[in-house]
Structure 1
């Protein structure tokens, strides 16, 4: 695992994303707080894992930091530039450095476009100044880098397996040599054996290209394997954040303990002892005690559980 640099590449401060709820007779009745007051940093060559149950706001954060769905408030600074303040043209230029890999590769691919054209598209959009022949060679190299035969470039999405489709999406994401990638549940739709291959590919690309990731996942075992640090999200708020070994070895927040207790262990005796030791106490209300306190160097816990 590549060692992360000490300074942030991406700095998120007090990010919130709220959605207005319509009443039956029209107008805005109330506001749904999908994400509220979230802050974190991601350093160069670092992978930050974002975990939590479905509906906790993980994908909302991923889309907010890439400006696909801009935040309601807060700042998202990439290399010191607040992305929310950029014009559409300026943000288009910034997308060379910020990319996203989605959960469902089949939905992300264009069924009318062959795989080679799909990977080549960002190179054409950002006008790299190279000829079509040079771009085809570049695409062939990208296919090889993600473990695909370059001859597959002429095939269409329906002719690939799920793992191959995700590799195509990864090839497109790295085509412009970005610095930062949001991986939103990139292995959730894949078979278990293929999941490990894709995670290993992401790790190899990080080592080769110096990438930073925001890795969103339900799979806590893969998160522990791939991520330098982990942030636990509950009802739109981060309730605990620490390096992977610390968080998995010494979880402090009740919700973190509940998540870890849900990971099965293939030994009934060990499983009963582990669940009993962790305990399944209900987490406190998400509306109070959300400020994080540093209980140990680099280990942050919501105040309500920090003691």
Structure 2
């Protein structure tokens, strides 16, 4: 679970759910007993059984809607329950809770001395805000922006540009030195496909002075794609600014994983503008959207 997957809209949903939970413990109805308080009924809260179905249709419905919307950010993209994603179920439930809250304000006991309480008014405000944010988040770019900035300092730069930054999964984090095996088993600063013990670009010695012919390039390891012509591509670490799907190398349309901000991934090959990336558990796939990624 990565909290950096949350958006500003999710922050609004969480805030509305907290307000709704607080409102459930405040008076749902208010009684005007005049000058005398003798015999005046006690103002009920949303959890009182005599107010049923206020609790499940207003308070619990709104809180569960918020939980579903936030939980959907930590699920693989495209996962559905009965044909709908979790955030779609949450949006429907939020709209239902707002509808119930609205009619409860206008309905209720037909008694002049009974009026909406503080909890009922706050519940209406919270549910209306919850439904509005849930409906607008997929459509408003400001609400789709990440709730928390990525750990890298400064704005993300185009891939292949930018100074290395430290972060979770970074190859030199925890004292690993250049040339030592990385967490993925690759040699840092070596071109992809180089054989163990073969000098990388930084270690290669010029051959012009000795006049000796340069050694022929070694073939890539079995089962691995060959490096770009002339050894132009070398594996590097990168991080994504927002959640990005990782698709299978076989070209299937269904994503095999989801890359999250705040984590470093290893790019092992390049296919046009796309990158072949490897996750921490060893899965490899194609990252089609490489815009705005931060290179390590």
TM-score bucket (shorter structure): under 0.3
More helix by share: 1
More strand by share: 1
